Structure 1
Amino acid sequence: MMQETKQTLTVTRKSLNRVDVVSTSGRIDASTAPILEQSLKTCLNEGRYRLVIDLKDTAYISSAGLKVLIATLKETKKHRGDVRLANLSHNLKETFSMVGLVPDLFKVYDDTLDAVGSY
């Protein structure tokens, strides 16, 4: 009998100056993307439009996760904000590049503090 393992995603948030850093840990796929979406919507609902997504502990992101990030980016831009990405693994950099999201849509930083400082 095969045992099914449930994928989980942990999302944490902290504020640095006027920037919110949202850190993810785990896989972002169709089943976990709503967790990320809810956390990002909370930021937007609080009028926080300068976001850094720290993907250091995220090994995989599916199209569902990319959709959440793009929708969040569009909303922040309406309020003169932005979504910047930090600590992408080589695989995530390839994923974002392959679908044309980097460097055209998202700015990517090697370090969270560099991303925060870029605002």
Structure 2
Amino acid sequence: MEEHKIFTTSFSRVYPYLVAKAEKKGRKKAEVDEIIHWLTGHDQTGLDRVLADGTDFKTFFATAPKLNPQRETIKGVVCGIRVEEVQHPLMREIRYLDKLVDELAKGKPMEKILRHD
């Protein structure tokens, strides 16, 4: 399946696009990092290591220190796909991340993005 090519893509290859998506709408790289920390449990040192090591998406999520249980409350459409209906577990994690960055780019407040309401 074509979608599974992303599983072996290095996270560091996609990360600049996530940051650019946010920055294009006036948001900051630090906010993207905060989303990643919230979603995966990676601290900044861990995230920097993943980016430097060229860790692929599969390993990035498989070795995440603590996937946030609230991530399962993420709903909605991103790239024409309803996040909560994605069947493949890894693809759903990738879509969660994309949806959160999408919410950031659309101007949603961080406390709402990180489900603090």
Asked which structure has the greater CA Rg, the reply is 1
Whichever structure has more helix as a proportion of its residues is 2
Query: How does the TM-score come out when normalised to structure 1?
Result: 0.30
User: Using CA pairs below 8 Å that are at least 6 residues apart, which structure has the higher relative contact order?
Assistant: 2
